Structure formats: C-alpha cells, structure tokens
Amino acid sequence: MTEPSDSTCSSPVLDLLRQLHESLASLDDGEVATYIPELSKADPSAFGICLVTANGTVYEVGDSAVPFTIQSVSKPFVYGLALEDNGRGPVLEKVGVEPTGDAFNSISLEVGTGRPRNPMINAGAIAAAGLIGGKGRVNRFKRVLEMLSLYAGRPLAMDSSVYRSEDETGHRNRAIGHMLRNYSILEGDPIEAVDLYFRQCSVSVTCRDLGIMAATLANRGVNPVTGRQAIRGEYVENVLSVMGSCGMYDYAGEWMYKVGMPAKSGVAGGVIAVLPGQVGIGVYSPRLDARGNSVRGIRVCDELSRHWDLHLLNRQAAGRSTIRRQFTGAELNSSRVRTAEELVALRTSGGSIRVFQLQGHLTFATTEVVVNEIMENFTRIEQLVLDLRRVQTLNESACRLFWHLVCKLGEAGKQTFFTHADRHPLLRRYFKAKLGRRCEELFRAYEDNDLALEACENRVLSDVLPGRRTDHRVRAAEFELCQGFEPEEIETFSACLVSRPFECGVSIISVGERAAELYFLTRGTVSVIVPTQSGTARRLATFSAGMCFGEMAMIDRAPRSATIVADSDVECEFLSLERFDHLRKTAPEICIKLLTNLSRSLSQKLRKANRELSVLD
Amino acid sequence: MTEPSDSTCSSPVLDLLRQLHESLASLDDGEVATYIPELSKADPSAFGICLVTANGTVYEVGDSAVPFTIQSVSKPFVYGLALEDNGRGPVLEKVGVEPTGDAFNSISLEVGTGRPRNPMINAGAIAAAGLIGGKGRVNRFKRVLEMLSLYAGRPLAMDSSVYRSEDETGHRNRAIGHMLRNYSILEGDPIEAVDLYFRQCSVSVTCRDLGIMAATLANRGVNPVTGRQAIRGEYVENVLSVMGSCGMYDYAGEWMYKVGMPAKSGVAGGVIAVLPGQVGIGVYSPRLDARGNSVRGIRVCDELSRHWDLHLLNRQAAGRSTIRRQFTGAELNSSRVRTAEELVALRTSGGSIRVFQLQGHLTFATTEVVVNEIMENFTRIEQLVLDLRRVQTLNESACRLFWHLVCKLGEAGKQTFFTHADRHPLLRRYFKAKLGRRCEELFRAYEDNDLALEACENRVLSDVLPGRRTDHRVRAAEFELCQGFEPEEIETFSACLVSRPFECGVSIISVGERAAELYFLTRGTVSVIVPTQSGTARRLATFSAGMCFGEMAMIDRAPRSATIVADSDVECEFLSLERFDHLRKTAPEICIKLLTNLSRSLSQKLRKANRELSVLD
C-alpha cells in the first residue's frame, strides 16, 4: 500500500493518513459479525481509510477498493430520501428523532403511538423504508439504489448472496415490521418495507464510496467529486442531526463529546463520519466491538478528530474574513482618467464613496460583520458599492440583511450599488419579491466595480465641481502637454496639428498597428481597451477632452499596445512623427517642453498607480 | 422599545430582532415557575432578547437589562470549571455525558456506579459542583462567581432572597446530594456541594449577560466584548457537547433536529443558545412550558435558527477562500528595480517562484486546500513563499500539514519561506520541537513578502544569468538615460557630471529637500524609503548600478517626495539643474534624447505597475 517510491510527491495529507493506517493496522480487537453467514466470510484484517474534502479531493489508503455491504450505514441516506419524498412533518409523525440509549436492534417504540424513537435503530429504519415513494417494490428499490449511486458517484449494485442471507435469517426484523403495521406506522404490506430494508442493507460499496458519500453530506448534498446533487440541501441538516444524536446507538453522547462528528456504522465494518463544510470520512474494518461498531473505524474517527482538530463544536469566529478589502473613492479611482482638478476633488471628497469587496459564504454571521462595519460608518458613506465577485454562496439570511441595509441607506438618501450580482440570482429575486416592478429603484447593479466607481465619482464631481464642463471643445493651449508654452510656441505648435473627427464606436488606434502619431483629444471621450487572458476585452482607461493618447509614438516608435475606441462622437488633433522630427530640428525648446510635460504626466500616473498598489496589497 | 426616531441609523440586525420581539410579545402561553416563592414574583410579560456575535457586537431588544436568577443556565459553566479543575478523565468518572430522555429533576443515576447520566440534570450538576476546587465553601463559591463574571464581562452577584428560598425548599436536591455521597460520587460533605449548587443557581444576571456569556462559548472561551478568557478553549467543545445532547432535557433530539444550536434553559426564564464561531443568544421570558423551558425563549431560538439559517449542521464548504491570492515571480516583482535584461529573465523564469497569500483560520480543512494546490503544482514550483499576514488563527493541525509539506519540498531541493510568521509563534515552536537547533534550516522566515520575493528572484537570476555582474562600476555611456547618445554627446554630457561617494547607511536625498540634481548610480545599491501611515518606513524600490534617481528634479522642480538611502558603499555622478539648463541651450538634442529616454523608462514602469494592479485586483 505505502509505496516509498511515490512518497516524495504524495500529499502530506496522504502521508499522515498512511501513518495512522499503519499505527492502527496492528489493532486486532473485536470480532467479525456472524449473525448472517455471508458476513462471517469477510477478511478480518481488511482495513481501508478514505478521507474526502468538501471540495472533492480524495485521499485513500489501505483496502479502500475492497467491496462489502453497506448495512446500517444506508439508514441515514434512506431517511434523507424519505424526507425528500414526504417532507419533515409527515416523516416526524412516523419516526421520532430522540436518542434511545438502547442498542441497535432494540425495538424502542414510543408508548401509545408505536412510533420508533429514531431512524437509526432498525425499527425506525424499516419505518423510513416504508415511506419511500414509487410504484411497486422493484421501482422503490431502484430509486434507493439510484440515490445511493448519486452519493457514491458511481453505479452501485446489490450483493445478492448477502441479500438472500439477510432474507433467510431476518425474523426479528419481520417481527418489527408487523409490529409497525399493527400501530399503522407502516401502511401497506409490512413485508415489502422489510424487504426494501434488506435490499438497501445489501448494497455493495467500497471504503472510497463511503468517503465520497460522507463528503456529499459535508458538502450540503452535492457530491463534490461529480458535482451532482444527491439530496436537497435543506434536508442535510436533518440527516446529520439524527446521525449526531443517534448514529452511534447507546454511545451517542460520548461520541459527540469525544469525536464531535455525526457518524454511522454498519455491521459489515463500514463507518462514515461527517464534518459539515469540511470533510467526509469512510473507514472499513470488519472487526466489531460489543456495540456492533467497527473497532478500528471508531479509533480512526477518534484519532482524526483529536489530532486533526475536527470536533464540530471547536470553531473560531468566522466572520472577520468576509470583507476582503474596503476602500474609498479617495483612495482608488476608476479607469476614467481625470483632470488634475478632478483628481484633487476626488482625493478630497471621494471618501463618501465606499467600496466593499466581499468573499466566502454570506450567511447571517458573515453578513452581519459587513452590515455592522457599514452602519458604523453610516454618516460618512453617501454611495456604497458591494462587490460580490468573490462571494461563493449567499443565503436568504444574507439577502434579508442586505435588503434592510439598502432600504435604510435609501431612506437617508444614500445609494447602494451591487457589482457581479449576476453570480447570485437569489439576491435579485429577493429584492424583486419585495419590490416587484420597482425593483430597479433599490437594486442597482453594475457589471463590475470600475463602472460602479465611475458612476459614483461622476456624482461626487457634479456635486463638488458644479461648473465643470464635460463636453466642451478644448483648444491646444489648454492641453496638459502644452503647459508653459509661450504664445508664439503655441502658434508654431498648433500649425503642426491636423484635425480629424471620429464617430462613436470607431477604433481610432488598433493594437499592433505602427505608431505614427500623437493624438490630442479636443472633444468627447475615448477608452483604452486591452484583450484579457480570458478572451474578453478590458477597459484600461477612459480619457476625456484635454488629454492626449498615443504618446508612446514619439518615444519608442513600437507597434501600438492597446486599442483606442471612441466612446462618443470625438474630435482629435494629431501630431505626426514627421512633424515632430521636424520640430526637433527647428524648435527644440518646444520639444523639450513637450517631453518635460509628458514625463511629468507619466510620473504622476506612476505615483497614482503605486499608491493604488499599496492600497490593494 | 422600538423607537422610530433612531431606526434610520440602527442596524438592520437590530431591526430584525425588534420585529421578532414584537411578533412574539403577544405569545402568553405557559406559567411562571412557582416551586420557590421568590421566582413567582417575576413579571410574566417581561421579555428580552440579546444576540452577540463572536466578534463582540451586541444587539439587545426589550427587557434586556432586567435582573433574574441564572438557575440551570449555570450548569454548563460550572461543568466547564469542573473540567478545568480536574481534567476530562476524572470528571467523566463522576458524571456521564449520555442524554437520558428524562425530565430536569430526574435523579437518573447509572445502575451500579451511581454516576449521574449527564451534568445538565440536577444530579449531574450537583456532582459537578462537588468537583469545584478551592479551600472551603466560601472560597469555592467565590471562584464560581468570578468565573461567571468573566463570561458576563462584569462583576455578578448572588440574589440572597432567591438563595434563601432555594435553601429552604431544596429537600429533593439534598436527597440527591446524599444519594451521590452514598455512591462516593460526592466525596466531602454532600450538603456543601448542594449549597454551592443553590448559590450558583441564585446568581443574578440580565438577558444581556446571557447573550455575552453565550457568545463567549461561541468564541472558544474568550469573552468577545472584554477580550478576556473565561474558560480554556480546549474544554469549550465538551461544554457545548453536553449542551447539545442534554441541554434541553427530554427535548434534546428534536432541539438538535430543529434548532441545531447547543442550548440551556433555566426555570427563572433564561435561555442561552450558541452557534460556535458565529453567535451567542440570550433570551429572558419567565413563562415556562410543561418541560420547564421558557416558551418565548424556545420560540426565539427556533425562529432565529430557521429564518437566519443558524443550524449548526447547515454548512457550506469552507476551505476555498483560504487562498486570498497566488502569483508567480513572473507576474509580480519585488521592489528591487531590475535592469531590462533581468526583467526579461524574471518574466521568463520567475514562474518557479510561487507566492501564496493565505487568510482566515488555518485548520485541517482550510490548510488541506493550500497543501493540495501546492502539491498539484509540485514540479513547477522551485521556491515557495507562504504569506501569513492575513491569517487570523492557525492550529496544530495546520502546523503538522505545513511541516510535512516543507520537508517534502526540502527533499526535492525546493525552498519554502514564511512571511509574517511572527504573528503565529505556534508555527515556529512546532518546527523547533521537530528540528531543535536545526530549526532555521527548514523554517525560513522573512519579515515581509517583498524581502522574500527579492531573495527568490536573486536565486533565479543567479541561475539563469550566471555571468551577471552585480557589483561593477558602470560608466555614463552604459546608463539607460544615455541610450542613443553619439560618442561626442557622451563626451559633452560626461563633462557636466560631478562624482561623489556615499557611505553605506547615509541618506543621499531626504524627503522635503529642494530638488537640485539628477543622480546616476555608478556603483552599489540604494533604496527609496517613504514614511507610512503607521509611522514605520516602507521600502518603495531598490536601485542598483546603472540606474538613475532624483530625475523629477529636471521635471517639476518640487521638493523631494522620498528619502534615498545608500544600502552599500555607493558612488554617484550627478547632474545639477544649472548644468541641465545650460545644456538645454547649448546642446538641446542631448536634452531631447535624455527626456525621451526618461519618458520611455517612466512608461515602462507605469506598464509594469498597471500589470501588477491587474494581478492584484
């Protein structure tokens, strides 16, 4: 099993599992079950461990591929199917959820009603089998088998010789069936329910299957290896609850105390344990203790829990890391390139724009952290951007808190914008259910942060620079690059420029073209677009009238590195390289001023980029 | 309670609690406890709710400041103190942890041993009181009171009239005490243990206190409001386990199924519920149901669990968000400014440097995600940087996985560097325990990522550019800014330069000084240092021979924006502004070339910064 040759690049997790396997392989307490002849044929030394993370990474050691029958480990899964078929209420009427403190084969029916105490004892499991929907016994077992196969991520089958053996010796279970029929807990033919129970117990699995099945419960019902849903998420907590309180029979209290993972064992030697949101564990070792639990199976769970800190109730405060980053509109700007005056205004007044980048799973506790942080800054915030790009899941509690938050901000005249909200359709549905057609009034969504930030900035700028002209025609003398020019230098320089209009949407410069001119934007706005790795186009910057682009033409004369698109109808004046080279000889002082201004502008952009880098890092 | 005037800036969480409080205030089922006269004096309509997050945010509505006695809600806390005083094994010998399915005042002793089944029934709680350490009854109660006060975050006191009332009527509990003494479960005077139990039950608390006490259990024993430890973290899971399996008496199974939070109620009407890592809840409403649980208390927990998705077993896969960001040495560089040749080499070969920025709580499941990602890239990684700056906690399981990972990488000749590891001393201690004095061989730590990245880059560069000279003297003609100069231009230009040496550690330029010259670094390295908001100095960049600094002197002639410090003995040549202005008149072509080269250099830096921004965002 433990091949030294591959230990260099095997995972440390696998190494630790191998050590555990090795240290427990010598443990040979307990006896193989003999109550049905087929079970007694198992190899007593067989021993496999499989740990599967809720993300779907599978670690397996030892006899993880040896088949055996699932037996009582089937009980929680069939109970889950009964919940899906009937709903919580009707199932609770037929089977309780209280631990009994009794052994696995105890009949434990409630006095008066005859209701089995819980679905982990045989009586409760037979009652649950009686609740499986479908026409006829063949079809019902087919549904059970399909459900178990979804959990395992491969087609499972029944071991017929074990089934025959169960069927021949199962008189106690038939007695239970009749008793349940007597109390009307079972409604049709009790022997059909008992037969389904025998069949479900005889399904053949491996230790690897059990690990993946457990991880499916850890992953809220979605098999993390195949990505397919095996049970509706809302019922997983119920299945895990009965495993937690009743899964280990009369050992349940101590199990929760010491191991702290919902678990279930079977008489063929299988054990599953689940740490919700984290890992599923499957163990196979046929030697059983007096309670009918696999000796090594129990030890594996116990050691893993203690040494790897897997106790369910051992948790650190989870909320703080929900806010990946927050910044104001004074710290980071959109890609819209602003004038010096606008930049000063944003650095002074952009603090009222607050962007929160969120991450992870948004539940009550994690969303509360966000809401609390926002409420503490309530008076300082005028425009709020909530970026959901890195949010993995978002539940209804989170929607409810966001809804209240957005209303509260709205009442105070403050605006909220969501970005990347299309990844979480539940949020929009929640707002829509609250607001109907007026949804868009409060649910303002932008594709990405950059667009949301630009919109927020525009609002701040129109407040603090009310006289700002946004669509006037700029003359050459007003250009940043012409700063410090004498009147006669302006005249000489203007004479070198050629004017050209572009229609909205036209590419003024295309990536890869030969660079032949420097452009002065006299009217309208243009955007710098680069292709991204994912194949989509990304906006690098947007320039407005009074700014220059394509200036690298004068410097390195290399092909264009980006595409420039007209965002509106645009007018440009351009300086060709020939004209520039001519100026260089005839009026070098103009070139020196131009290059000095260019260097200043580049160095201001570099300082801004470095400032943004320090905010982002 | 619900004051409309402050609802605008009240938290949405508080609003939702207020709604819940309002909707349940009309519920008047149940009766105030009358078994001791003092309890019957409570106002039946009193109703308070307090929710406290594991981060310490307190939300309270209704009668959250009304005092009442803690009663049985004291049981889990005193049990926790018994665990701290005696350890798990000795406590388990005296009190079991199995649910009984019996009522709160059942005697439920184990047949034969006389051991109470669990510490939440009176018999078990009296046995736990008998295990509290301290000399004499006064001192023992003082310890209990101090412990409860740590949980509540304020000095609590006993209500003497309730104590007297309990003492006068407590015959059943005295009977239990003698029975426990009979079985030697109690070892001194049984009446002393019963008296301590009466006193602990008579401690006066408010609903707010209960909320904070519950949140302390949710926060692994640290009171999240005061930051003080009330119980050692390792015992919290045991206290919560018995609350989970036995806290609600014969309702335990259904409670875990429906509400899914470890909880405890008291006959005065108090209830606590704990969602580990997330929230603690305290409720006060004196009307009790037939089982002795507060009617509204149960309903509040039930509604909060259902509507706010607080079920313990309802979890999403947690691991994925542990990796905040990963990048290679080809994508982002250290602040060491490199030559064009070096930059090309790093973009080509820097992929073997991999930096992982981690965040959140590092446990088995979250660390596994990191280890798995690294192992999948095992052959591509030569140098690994693990940045722990944003890691909040790190447990022994995480240390164990990192240890195995680092050994495995080391065996394959690969190096691992930790940054910000001083925040998590446990990690270094773990490596030290494994390696002793040889610890530093595998536990390589850098103060920050930038220094670690520079070291990794230097190693890559010495591999791929073996002939690279790192400490030679560079002549003016070799400078980037002199690219394209004709030989006679070099000569003219060199004549304008003045040479000057600086000793290691000296400030060559100081922030705020008048800018008077442009420096050419001919030998050694210098760093650009800026003061940060936190008052410490941050390295912006490091330059080596062949590079220029102070170039803004020529452009904006503004005061220096950063300090430049010599990292080694350094030689510089500088061009004064006077000389530059002279050149401008006598040899403009030299100035045009100089400014063109400067613009190219600035624009390359800007592109690199923009590339880095897109990696970071």
> Is there a single domain that holds both residue B340 and residue B486?
no
- Judged against a pLDDT cut of 70, whether residue B320 lies above it is answered with no
Least confident of A105-114, A200-209, A250-259, B264-273: A105-114
Q: Is residue B47 part of a domain?
A: yes
Q: What is the pLDDT of residue B2?
A: 36
- Judged against a pLDDT cut of 70, whether residue B499 lies above it is answered with yes
Beta carbons of A246 and B344 less than 8 angstroms apart:
no
* Segment B357-375, tens digit of pLDDT: 999 888 888 898 899 899 9
The Cβ of residue A516 has, within 10 Å, a number of other Cβ atoms equal to 14
Q: Is residue A313 part of a domain?
A: no
Q: Is residue A58 part of a domain?
A: no
- Residues whose CB is less than 8 angstroms from the CB of residue B475 and which lie 6 or more positions away in sequence, other chains included: B522
User: Which residue range(s) make up the domain with B147?
Assistant: 4-307
CATH code for the domain in which residue B303 is found: 3.40.710.10
| CB-based contact A98 B57, cutoff 8 Å | no
Least confident of A167-176, B522-531, B536-545: B536-545
Residue A99 has its nearest CB partner, among B8, B253, B599, at: B253
> Is there a single domain that holds both residue B95 and residue B195?
yes
> Is there a single domain that holds both residue B436 and residue B549?
no
> Is there a single domain that holds both residue B22 and residue B113?
yes
List chain A residues with CB under 8 Å of B12.
Answer: 371, 375, 401, 404-405, 408
> Is there a single domain that holds both residue A487 and residue A609?
yes
Joined together, the tokens standing for residue A322 give 């929900």
List chain B residues with CB under 8 Å of A584.
Answer: 589, 592
- Judged against a pLDDT cut of 60, whether residue A7 lies above it is answered with no
Q: How many CA atoms lie within 13 A of B203 on its CB side?
A: 31
Amino acid identity for residue B71 in this structure: Q
Q: What is the pLDDT of residue B321?
A: 78
Closest CA to B47 of B58, B34, B61: B61
- Judged against a pLDDT cut of 70, whether residue A470 lies above it is answered with no
- Judged against a pLDDT cut of 60, whether residue B3 lies above it is answered with no
- Judged against a pLDDT cut of 80, whether residue A6 lies above it is answered with no
Q: What is the pLDDT of residue B4?
A: 38
Q: Name the average pLDDT for chain A.
A: 89
> Is there a single domain that holds both residue A117 and residue A83?
yes
* Segment A322-371, tens digit of pLDDT: 898 899 999 888 888 888 888 899 999 999 999 999 998 888 888 988 99
Backbone angles phi, psi at B26, to 5 degrees: -80, -10
Element (H, E) at A84: helix A74-86
Question: Once rounded to an integer, what is the mean pLDDT over residues A481-493?
Answer: 91
Q: What is the nearest CA distance from A141 to chain B, expressed in angstroms?
A: 27
Q: Is residue B244 part of a domain?
A: yes
- Which of B307, B334, B353 represents a domain boundary (last residue)? B307
How far apart CA B16 and CA A136 sit, in angstroms, is 49
- Judged against a pLDDT cut of 70, whether residue B184 lies above it is answered with yes
Beta bridge partners of A525: A544
- Which of B254, B278, B307 represents a domain boundary (last residue)? B307
Beta bridge partners of B523: B571
Residue A257 has its nearest CB partner, among B238, B276, B365, at: B238
List chain B residues with CB under 8 Å of A278.
Answer: 315, 317-319, 363-365
Amino acid identity for residue A546 in this structure: G
Q: What is the DSSP letter of B109?
A: B
* Segment B109-152, tens digit of pLDDT: 887 888 998 999 999 999 999 999 999 999 999 999 999 999 99
CATH code for the domain in which residue B324 is found: 3.30.750.24
Q: What is the pLDDT of residue A533?
A: 64
- Judged against a pLDDT cut of 70, whether residue A471 lies above it is answered with no
User: For residue B103, what pLDDT band results from cuts at 50, 70 and 90?
Assistant: low
- Point out the catalytic residue in the list A32, A52, A64, A72: A72
Residue B101 has its nearest CB partner, among A16, A101, A321, at: A101
Complete edge-to-edge strand list for the sheet that includes strand A48-53:
A58-62, A48-53, A279-284, A270-275, A263-265
Judged by a CB distance cut-off of 8 A, whether residue B111 touches chain A is no
Flag whether the ipTM exceeds 0.85. Answer: no
Beta carbons of A273 and A263 less than 8 angstroms apart:
yes
* Segment A494-518, tens digit of pLDDT: 999 999 999 999 999 988 888 888 9
Question: Once rounded to an integer, what is the mean pLDDT over residues B540-569?
Answer: 85
How far apart CA A140 and CA A605 sit, in angstroms, is 69
For the annotated catalytic residues of B, the residue numbers are 72, 75, 197, 249, 267
How far apart CA A591 and CA A587 sit, in angstroms, is 7
Q: What is the pLDDT of residue B101?
A: 61
List chain A residues with CB under 8 Å of B617.
Answer: 616
> Is there a single domain that holds both residue A117 and residue A263?
yes
User: For residue B248, what pLDDT band results from cuts at 50, 70 and 90?
Assistant: confident
Closest CA to B353 of B387, B385, B389, B388: B385
> Is there a single domain that holds both residue A432 and residue A497?
no
CB environment B207-231: b (16+ within 10 A), e (fewer)? bbbbbbbbbbbbbbbbbbbbeeebb
- Which of A464, A489, A506 represents a domain boundary (last residue)? A464
> Is there a single domain that holds both residue A270 and residue A364?
no
Question: Once rounded to an integer, what is the mean pLDDT over residues B464-483?
Answer: 79
Q: Name the average pLDDT for chain B.
A: 89
Q: What percent of chain B is predicted at pLDDT more than 70?
A: 94
Q: What is the pLDDT of residue A113?
A: 86
Q: Is residue A470 part of a domain?
A: no
> Is there a single domain that holds both residue B460 and residue B500?
no
> Is there a single domain that holds both residue A368 and residue A427?
yes
Question: Once rounded to an integer, what is the mean pLDDT over residues A25-33?
Answer: 92
Cβ-Cβ pairs closer than 8 A, A with B, add up to 360
Q: Which residue of chain B is at minimal alpha-carbon distance from A374?
A: B11
* Segment B223-243, tens digit of pLDDT: 999 999 999 999 999 999 999
Q: Is residue B471 part of a domain?
A: no
User: For residue B327, what pLDDT band results from cuts at 50, 70 and 90?
Assistant: very high
Element (H, E) at A307: helix A295-307
User: For residue B1, what pLDDT band results from cuts at 50, 70 and 90?
Assistant: very low
Q: What percent of chain A is predicted at pLDDT more than 70?
A: 94
Q: How many CA atoms lie within 13 A of B477 on its CB side?
A: 7
Helix, strand, coil distribution of chain A in percent, nearest 5:
45, 20, 35
Least confident of A403-407, B91-95, B281-285, B466-470: B466-470
What torsion do the CA atoms of B15, B19, B22, B26 make, to the nearest 10 degrees?
-170
Q: Is residue B314 part of a domain?
A: no
Question: Once rounded to an integer, what is the mean pLDDT over residues B53-65?
Answer: 94
How far apart CA A378 and CA B255 sit, in angstroms, is 38
Q: What is the pLDDT of residue A5?
A: 40
Least confident of A276-290, A413-427, B431-445, B453-467: B431-445
Q: What is the DSSP letter of A447?
A: S
Q: Which residue of chain B is at minimal alpha-carbon distance from A279?
A: B365
* Segment B361-412, tens digit of pLDDT: 888 888 988 998 999 899 999 999 999 998 988 888 899 899 989 998 998 9
How far apart CA A236 and CA A88 sit, in angstroms, is 12
User: For residue A603, what pLDDT band results from cuts at 50, 70 and 90?
Assistant: confident
What total of structural domains would you count in chain A? 3
> Is there a single domain that holds both residue B99 and residue B225?
yes
Q: What is the pLDDT of residue A3?
A: 39
How far apart CA A524 and CA A114 sit, in angstroms, is 81
Question: Once rounded to an integer, what is the mean pLDDT over residues A578-599?
Answer: 92
- Judged against a pLDDT cut of 90, whether residue B35 lies above it is answered with no
Least confident of A338-347, B260-269, B309-318: B309-318
A residues 454-513 closer than 8 Å to B (CB): none
Q: What is the pLDDT of residue A319?
A: 59
- Judged against a pLDDT cut of 60, whether residue A97 lies above it is answered with yes
Q: What is the nearest CA distance from A64 to chain B, expressed in angstroms?
A: 20
Identify the residue among B117, B322, B364 best suited for mutation to test binding to A, counting A beta carbons within 10 A and taking the highest: B364
- Point out the catalytic residue in the list A249, A251, A446, A519: A249
Q: What is the pLDDT of residue A2?
A: 36
Q: Is residue A40 part of a domain?
A: no
What one-character-per-residue DSSP string does A163-211 give?
HHHHHHH-HHHHHHHHHHHHTTSS-S-HHHHHHHHHHHHTEEE-HHHHH
Residue B602 has its nearest CB partner, among A242, A379, A603, at: A603
